[in-house]
Chain A
Amino acid sequence: MSMKDTKLWTWHMASGVIILVLLGAHMLAMHMSGVLPIERLNPAGDNPLDWANVVARGREVSQVVGYILLVGVGLFHGLFGLRNILFELDPAPGLQKLISVVLLLLGLGLFVFGAWSAVAARTMALSVSG
């Protein structure tokens, strides 16, 4: 394992810890709202998918920043994990390079799209009255 791979592996572990916190909060808000109703996460009622709740969360800077961070860290953790699994199957060096480039482009593309949608949703939420 090269020094670069060791560093990436360390980041892989660190990103897992960050995801545990952010996705844990996301799971609490989205899927355990009945057991643990946290008003700040769903201020407009119990259903987290109601448009009013989506707008309310969009107004919170911490929600938008947390979402963008989660998308970035989650994409890195997931795609690097997939890369490790694929590399274990011992592909040829040229194919390894191709896998890395494709996963990097996929990750960057989805990150830009996810971050843009969070910012655009916030802009829309701020323009909605109420």
Chain B
Amino acid sequence: MPEIKKYPNRLGIKGWLFGGKWGPERYLYFLHRVTGLGLLFYFLIHIVVVSSRAFGQEQWETAMANVTGPIFLVGEYLVFVAFVFHALNGVRLVLVELGVLTGKAEDPVFPYRSSLNVQRPFMIVMMILAAILIVVGGYDFFVLVAH
């Protein structure tokens, strides 16, 4: 069996930050990872905190009192923002992965058609949708619920 040449990951974590010529999707890749790691960190703590409901009303209210205040409100909103972005960008990634947005292979005849012709507008639509949900969520967080 031929040996597969292994290329070291030379850029490591630094490589996440530099999109270079790869376009905006590369920066979405970076944001997808950062939001994913943030959501995972929050989720692990969240499981432990909300489990306090199993120990009764007093423990629940104590736990909730410990995570109440302006800093936690902003933090929770950031979790909401991260979820909205990660979810909608994730839908885009799944559709690209499944080939839905890439189209069929064809000969490179001028004027060339790029798979980006479909992917890029879809990405823009998803990001606009994310922006709308983030604004509506912010209205709920800081205007409706806070008052």
By a beta-carbon cutoff of 8 Å, the part of chain A in contact with chain B is 13, 16-17, 19-20, 23-24, 27, 31-35, 46-47, 49, 51, 54, 58, 71, 74-75, 78-79, 81-82, 85, 88-90, 106, 110, 113-114, 116-118, 120-121, 124
Give the residues in chain A near B144, CB-CB below 8 Å. Answer: 34-35
Nearest CB in chain B to that of A74: its residue: B43
Q: In the complex, what distance in Å separates the CA atom of A27 from the CA atom of B97? A: 26
- B80-A31 in contact (CB<8A): yes
- Residue-wise, chain B 34-75 has the 8 Å CB interface mask toward A (1 for contact) of 001101100110011011011011001100100000000000
Give the residues in chain B near A33, CB-CB below 8 Å. Answer: 140, 145
- A116-B40 in contact (CB<8A): no
- A54-B137 in contact (CB<8A): no
Q: In the complex, what distance in Å separates the CA atom of A117 from the CA atom of B61? A: 16
Q: In the complex, what distance in Å separates the CA atom of A19 from the CA atom of B39? A: 12
Nearest CB in chain B to that of A106: its residue: B44
Give the residues in chain B near A81, CB-CB below 8 Å. Answer: 36, 40
Q: What total of A-B pairs shows CB separation below 8 Å?
A: 86
- Confirm or deny: B94 has a beta carbon within 8 angstroms of a beta carbon on chain A: yes
Interface majority SS on B: helix, strand, loop or mixed?
helix
- Residue-wise, chain B 85-129 has the 8 Å CB interface mask toward A (1 for contact) of 001001100100100000000000000000000000000000000
Q: In the complex, what distance in Å separates the CA atom of A16 from the CA atom of B40? A: 13
Give the residues in chain A near B97, CB-CB below 8 Å. Answer: 13
Interface residues in B, total, Cβ within 8 A: 38
Q: In the complex, what distance in Å separates the CA atom of A33 from the CA atom of B23? A: 37
Partner of A89, one of B12, B39, B50, B139: B12
Q: In the complex, what distance in Å separates the CA atom of A114 from the CA atom of B47? A: 6
- A71-B47 in contact (CB<8A): yes
Nearest CB in chain A to that of B42: its residue: A78
Partner of B47, one of A19, A23, A54, A113: A113
- B94-A17 in contact (CB<8A): yes
16 residue pairs from A and B, CB less than 8 Å apart: A13-B94, A23-B87, A27-B137, A33-B140, A33-B145, A54-B53, A58-B53, A78-B43, A78-B44, A85-B33, A90-B8, A90-B9, A113-B51, A117-B54, A124-B53, A124-B56
Nearest CB in chain A to that of B44: its residue: A110
- A85-B37 in contact (CB<8A): yes
Give the residues in chain A near B140, CB-CB below 8 Å. Answer: 31-35
Q: In the complex, what distance in Å separates the CA atom of A120 from the CA atom of B64? A: 18
